[in-house]
């Protein structure tokens, strides 16, 4: 038997043209000094100007209809764009989440007016979204959210607090998982809904959290009786749990789960050039094999998603493997770089390796912890 479904996709030459175009753009941006490559760029490297440039080139909103500012392309083309941005370590964090997650949500659940208003701005790289899941008492145990939305005349009143909302300080909206009715005894999954909140609305306070790397992209977001309109409810009232777990499953298999430290390797190869020892070649070979394999798995899932299938366990496997690969990659690069004296390292190498190490701890937490991923896999294996 074969336990998991990962289709293998034959190469498509049309996609390679798009890839070449992206690489050309990224090379010239780097040459112009627009950005310095950074690990974990999709989370921590924001540059609204860069996002707007991408928007102008048609690289945001690829998959949705041109009626809403999109480009009528396939999920596979979108995959190529995300892949090249990650490989380059480009500053894509501003628009990343809105493009990946909230635009599809609006397309599925939004009103026509919302779509016409918001989607073109997302595609232009000017409108950003934050995720509103975690709370101080609801991390892995997401069903424990306490922030409430109370039905009032013409809308909802939201009160409570979200935390770890990446980018909320520059975002225009948050889609938050809120309790809209009490839990049904021990079944805490009922009574949760997803609601879109304008972060400029009265009663919203955004407080940045500085992390150990000195970045401040995480935020606490407080809601003090914030009024949102009726159409802010995305999807079904009480259907929030199902929607959120579905989305999480979709995100877990993307290239951000295994390509976020790729720039570290590239930087090392640049510094080492023809000074690679047999040992370093072996480390490189091992990484090449892992990257290629994970890419195949992730790409296979992209194909399934494209076909409307959402393989939760396969996505959890990719995330767990990808997290392990990324930690391993950084360590392998440390070993490779020990072959040359550290005053022969390029300044970029020092910088990238430091950033890579300092930004690594959240990898195995965000989007579901390693423990949650293994629990999902164990369930599929019939162990729980």
Partner 1 sequence: MISTDGMIAETTARIYADLCPREVPHRAEAGEFPQGLWDTLAENGLTLAWVSEENGGFGAEVSEVLGAIWIAAQAASPVPLAETLIANWLLDRAGLAPAEGRASFAIQSHLASAEIPFGGAVDQIVSFDARSGEVALFDNREPHAMEALSPDGVTRFVFSGKKVERSGLTNLSQHSVEALVLTVRAVQMAATMEAALGLSIDYVSAREQFGRTLSKFQAIQHQLAVAASESAAATMAATQAASSLAAHAADPAPAWHEAVIAKVQIGHSVEAVTVPFHQVHGAMGYTQEYDLHHYTRRLWAWRDEGGNEHHWSRVLGGAA
| 351 vs 42: CA distance, rounded Å | 17
Q: Is residue 264 within 8 Å of 330, Cβ to Cβ?
A: yes
Alpha-carbon dihedral 229, 230, 231, 235, rounded to 10 degrees: 130
How far apart are CB 120 and partner 1 at their closest, in Å? 33
Question: Binding marks (x or -) toward a second copy, 319..358, rule CB under 8 A?
Answer: --------------------x-------------------
Helix (H, G, I), strand (E, B) or coil at 104: helix
Q: Of residues 24, 66, 210, 225, which one binds partner 1 by CB under 8 A?
A: 210
Candidate ranges 73-81, 159-167, 203-211, 273-281; the one touching a second copy (CB under 8 A):
273-281
| 10 vs 8: CA distance, rounded Å | 7
| 322 vs 50: CA distance, rounded Å | 27
* Non-local CB neighbours of 284 within 8 Å, separated by 6+ positions: 265, 269, 276, 336
The pair of structure tokens assigned to 298 is 């992730």
The strand pair at 155-163 and 218-229 is best described as antiparallel
Beta carbon nearer to a second copy, 279 or 371:
279
Beta carbon nearer to partner 1, 152 or 282:
282
Q: Of residues 14, 20, 216, 282, which one binds a second copy by CB under 8 A?
A: 282
Beta carbon nearer to a second copy, 338 or 354:
338
Question: Binding marks (x or -) toward partner 1, 116..145, rule CB under 8 A?
Answer: ------------------x--x-xxx--x-
251 is catalytic: yes
Q: Is residue 235 within 8 Å of 102, Cβ to Cβ?
A: no
Candidate ranges 85-93, 151-159, 237-245, 293-301; the one touching partner 1 (CB under 8 A):
293-301
The pair of structure tokens assigned to 29 is 């941006």
Tell me which of 83, 84, 251, 326 is the catalytic residue.
251
- Scan for tokens 């939201």, then name that residue: 158
Question: Binding marks (x or -) toward partner 1, 295..334, rule CB under 8 A?
Answer: -xx--x-------------x--x--xx-----x---x--x
DSSP 214: S
Q: Residue 289's binding partner, choosing from partner 1, a second copy, none, with beta-carbon cut-off 5 to 8 A by kind? A: partner 1
Q: Is residue 92 within 8 Å of 50, Cβ to Cβ?
A: yes
Q: Residue 315's binding partner, choosing from a second copy, partner 1, none, with beta-carbon cut-off 5 to 8 A by kind? A: none
Q: Is residue 131 within 8 Å of 160, Cβ to Cβ?
A: no
Question: Binding marks (x or -) toward partner 1, 211..250, rule CB under 8 A?
Answer: xx-x---x--------------------------------
Task: Give the number of other CB atoms < 10 A from CB of residue 272.
Answer: 20
Contact flag: residue 279 with a second copy (CB under 8 A): yes
Catalytically active residues, by annotation: 251
Q: Which residues bind to a second copy, rule: CB under 8 A?
A: 277-279, 282, 339
């Amino acid at each position: 038997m074969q336990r998991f479904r990962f289709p293998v996709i034959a190469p498509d030459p049309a996609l390679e043209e798009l890839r070449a175009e992206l690489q050309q753009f990224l090379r010239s941006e780097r040459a112009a000094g627009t950005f310095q490559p950074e690990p974990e760029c999709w989370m921590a490297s924001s540059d609204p100007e860069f996002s707007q440039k991408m928007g102008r080139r048609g690289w945001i909103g690829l998959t949705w209809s041109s009626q809403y500012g999109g480009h009528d392309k396939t999920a596979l083309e979108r995959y190529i764009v995300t892949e090249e941005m990650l490989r380059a370590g480009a500053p894509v964090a501003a628009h990343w989440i809105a493009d990946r997650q909230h635009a599809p949500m609006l397309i599925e659940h939004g009103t026509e007016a919302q779509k016409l208003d918001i989607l073109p701005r997302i595609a232009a790289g000017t409108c950003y979204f934050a995720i509103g899941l975690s709370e101080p008492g609801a991390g892995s145990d997401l069903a424990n959210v306490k922030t409430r939305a109370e039905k009032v005349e013409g809308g909802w009143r939201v009160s409570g607090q979200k935390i770890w909302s990446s980018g909320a300080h520059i975002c225009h909206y948050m889609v938050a998982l809120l309790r809209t009715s009490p839990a049904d005894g021990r079944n805490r999954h009922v009574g949760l809904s997803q609601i879109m909140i304008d972060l400029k609305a009265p009663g919203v306070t955004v407080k940045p959290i500085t992390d150990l790397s000195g970045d401040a992209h995480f935020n606490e977001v407080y809601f003090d009786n914030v009024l949102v309109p009726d159409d802010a409810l995305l999807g079904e009232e009480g259907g929030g749990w199902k929607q959120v777990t579905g989305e999480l499953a979709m995100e877990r298999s993307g290239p951000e789960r295994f390509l976020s430290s790729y720039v570290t390797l590239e930087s090392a190869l640049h510094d080492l050039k023809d000074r690679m020892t047999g040992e370093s070649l072996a480390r490189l070979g091992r990484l090449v094999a892992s990257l290629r394999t994970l890419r195949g798995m992730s790409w296979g899932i992209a194909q399934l998603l494209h076909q409307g299938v959402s393989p939760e366990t396969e996505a959890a496997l990719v995330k767990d493997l990808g997290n392990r690969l990324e930690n391993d990659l950084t360590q392998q690069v440390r070993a490779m770089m020990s072959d040359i004296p550290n005053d022969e390292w390029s300044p970029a190498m020092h910088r990238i390796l430091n950033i890579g190490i300092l930004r690594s701890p959240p990898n195995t937490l965000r989007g579901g912890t390693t423990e949650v991923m293994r629990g999902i896999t164990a369930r599929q294996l019939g162990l729980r």
